[in-house]
Amino acid sequence: MINNDTIVALATASGSGAIAVIRLSGKDAITYIDKHFRSVKDNKSLINQKSHTIHLGHIIDGTREIDEVLVSIFKNPNSYTGESVVEISCHGSQYIQQEIIQLFLRTGCRMANAGEFTLRAFLNGKLDLSQAEAVADLIASDNAASHQIAMQQMRGGFSSEIAKLREELMNFASLIELELDFAEEDVEFADRSEFKELIDRISFVLKRLIDSFAVGNVIKNGIPVAIVGEPNVGKSTLLNALLNEERAIVSDIAGTTRDAIEDEISIGGIGFRFIDTAGIRETEDIVESIGIKKTFEKMEQAQVVVLLFSAEEFKTESQRLKVEIEKIKNRFPQKPLVIIANKIDKITNDELGKLQSQFINLHLLSAKTGVGVESLKDKLTGFVNTGALRNNETIVTNTRHYDSLLKAFEEINKVKSGLEMGLSGDLMAIDIRQSLFHFGEITGEITTDDLLGNIFANFCIGK
């Protein structure tokens, strides 16, 4: 992939705003802007300006002024992409944005593909592949946790950990391969006990990174929490209370919610996706029964299930509820379950006390008055293991990295048992090379055009 052309794209969000930024990158970026820029004060040529300078002037198409703008100049190789980059800050009218972009397309630029600026940064060695992916994660981050992880990955925390292991392993691989050249002499350049120590260390780090994906995946995608229960117990009211918004229709008619309703909020810096579901009951109604089927699917997919009953029912039908709770527990034995008595505003304090002694761990709540909603949020964050996050450890959030780590781990374990069995150097070298390959996949020492295409296609245009 060699890029000889100069690309252009809108870098800010599409639509109108106070200011928009249009970005050019490539060998002719500065020549092109110079053609269409007229300084406000003097007749300066942008070609002769220093890198990292900003210039006030007009974008002109022949004699026509399109806008008054600020132009920032970054000269190759000191820019985001490593090429010459020009950023035009113009007034954020969509008309102006389009006029300027069209002007540069006519001048010789090509419209940038999704993620192409970052792709070029990668190809020019400005960032490695996992850092480039972190750029997309950073843009997508919408809570403190995903932001923290993306920032850490973008700074290169993850890559440097991988690169270090890879280098050490590479050194040993070379020594072992060197031994092969002296096969007749039966020499050992690679100290086997040192090697074993390294393999153990690598295997330990890989295991930690692989395990971190359980947390990372949850942080990146939000934690799905299904709110389930019989009709009319207040599931939709609870959803609204959690979101602080009238998201779902609430009514005293049983069977109000028929389709699952989802929305996300951040609690304690972590994204939670709440799913309000159709109340579970026997029904003849076809639409409702489809909704109920969906409820069970959502429970299946959820990380946590919030099971709601009405406090009044607890009072009058406690035996039945015990059976219902057992049913759910048996159906989803692995799933963290929060059992809630809602509508506690409708029962007396005495009755509340009784309830609590009868059902341990029952969460008391009134979705209507808001009592118990905050403590429910605390309980939910308790389900997320945030230890790694607090300690600022590297957390893997990317499925591609996770896959490569698993494969590398598998190969390293082969090397390990090879060492234990006294496997010959040539066979061991193969396994080592394989694990090196998977390390390289993460940081991008080893890539294919297909892989790059897939990764950068998920970026926005202009990034």
- Would you tell me which residues interact with ligand GTP (CB under 6 A)? 229, 231-237, 250-252, 254-257, 278-279, 342-343, 345-346, 366-368
The distance of closest approach from Cβ of residue 371 to ligand GTP in the complex, given in angstroms and rounded to an integer, is 8
In which order are the strands placed within the sheet that holds 64-74?
37-39, 53-61, 64-74, 85-91, 19-25, 7-10, 110-111
Nearer to ligand GTP, 12 or 283 (CB): 283
Ligand-binding annotation for 253, yes or no, is yes
CB atoms within 10 A of CB 58: 15
Ligand-binding annotation for 327, yes or no, is no
CB atoms within 10 A of CB 402: 19
Please, what is the end-to-end C-alpha distance for the chain in angstroms? 18
256 interacts with Mg ion by CB under 5 A: yes
394 binds, among Mg ion, ligand GTP, none (CB under 5 to 8 A by kind): none
Nearer to ligand GTP, 208 or 379 (CB): 379
Ligand-binding annotation for 233, yes or no, is yes
Nearest residue to ligand GTP on Cβ basis: 279
Ligand-binding annotation for 11, yes or no, is no
Ligand-binding annotation for 72, yes or no, is no
Ligand-binding annotation for 34, yes or no, is no
Tell which one of 118, 130, 146, 257 touches Mg ion (CB under 5 A): 257
Nearer to ligand GTP, 29 or 292 (CB): 292
Nearer to ligand GTP, 246 or 420 (CB): 246
The distance of closest approach from Cβ of residue 232 to ligand GTP in the complex, given in angstroms and rounded to an integer, is 4
Identity of the residue numbered 342: N
Q: Which of residues 404-463 bind Mg ion (CB under 5 A)?
A: none
Ligand-binding annotation for 276, yes or no, is yes
Nearer to ligand GTP, 153 or 236 (CB): 236
Best CA proximity match to 303, nearest among 274, 342, 325, 326: 274
Nearer to Mg ion, 100 or 302 (CB): 302
90 binds, among ligand GTP, Mg ion, none (CB under 5 to 8 A by kind): none
The distance of closest approach from Cβ of residue 213 to ligand GTP in the complex, given in angstroms and rounded to an integer, is 34
The distance of closest approach from Cβ of residue 288 to Mg ion in the complex, given in angstroms and rounded to an integer, is 11
345 binds, among Mg ion, ligand GTP, none (CB under 5 to 8 A by kind): ligand GTP
Nearer to ligand GTP, 86 or 233 (CB): 233
The distance of closest approach from Cβ of residue 227 to ligand GTP in the complex, given in angstroms and rounded to an integer, is 8
Nearer to ligand GTP, 88 or 299 (CB): 299
Residue count (the chain): 463
Nearer to Mg ion, 235 or 463 (CB): 235
Nearer to Mg ion, 279 or 418 (CB): 279
The distance of closest approach from Cβ of residue 253 to ligand GTP in the complex, given in angstroms and rounded to an integer, is 7
The distance of closest approach from Cβ of residue 334 to ligand GTP in the complex, given in angstroms and rounded to an integer, is 25
Ligand-binding annotation for 113, yes or no, is no
Tell which one of 236, 295, 342, 435 touches Mg ion (CB under 5 A): 236
Backbone angles phi, psi at 138, to 5 degrees: -65, -40
SS (H, E, C) the chain: CCCCCCEEEECCCCCCCCEEEEEEECCCHHHHHHHCEEECCCCCCHHHCCCCEEEEEEEEECCEEEEEEEEEEECCCCCCCCCCEEEEEEECCHHHHHHHHHHHHHHCCEECCECHHHHHHHHCCCCCHHHHHHHHHHHHCCCHHHHHHHHHHHHCHHHHHHHHHHHHHHHHHHHHHHHHHCHHHCCCCCCHHHHHHHHHHHHHHHHHHHHHHHHHHHHHHCEEEEEEECCCCCHHHHHHHHHCCCCCCCCCCCCCCCCCEEEEEEECCEEEEEEECCCCCCCCCHHHHHHHHHHHHHHHHCCEEEEEEEHHHHHHCHHHHHHHHHHHHHHCCCCCEEEEEECHHHCCHHHHHHHHHHCCCCEECCCCCCCCHHHHHHHHHCCCCCHHHHCCCCCCCCHHHHHHHHHHHHHHHHHHHHHHCCCCHHHHHHHHHHHHHHHHHHHCCCCCHHHHHHHHHCCCECC
Ligand-binding annotation for 278, yes or no, is yes
Ligand-binding annotation for 8, yes or no, is no
DSSP strand pairing (110-111 vs 223-229) = unpaired
Ligand-binding annotation for 126, yes or no, is yes
The distance of closest approach from Cβ of residue 310 to Mg ion in the complex, given in angstroms and rounded to an integer, is 13
Q: Which two tokens stand for residue 116?
A: 């192409």
**Rounded to an integer, what is the distance from CA 385 to the centroid of its chain?**
17
Ligand-binding annotation for 251, yes or no, is yes
252 binds, among Mg ion, ligand GTP, none (CB under 5 to 8 A by kind): ligand GTP
Ligand-binding annotation for 107, yes or no, is no
What are the residues binding Mg ion (CB under 5 A)?
235-236, 256-257
Give the annotated binding-site residues for (6S)-5-formyl-5,6,7,8-tetrahydrofolate: 23, 87, 126, 463
Give the annotated binding-site residues for Mg(2+): 236, 257
Give the annotated binding-site residues for K(+): 232, 251, 253, 256
Give the annotated binding-site residues for GTP: 232-237, 251-257, 276-279
Give the annotated binding-site residues: 23, 87, 126, 232-237, 251-257, 276-279, 463
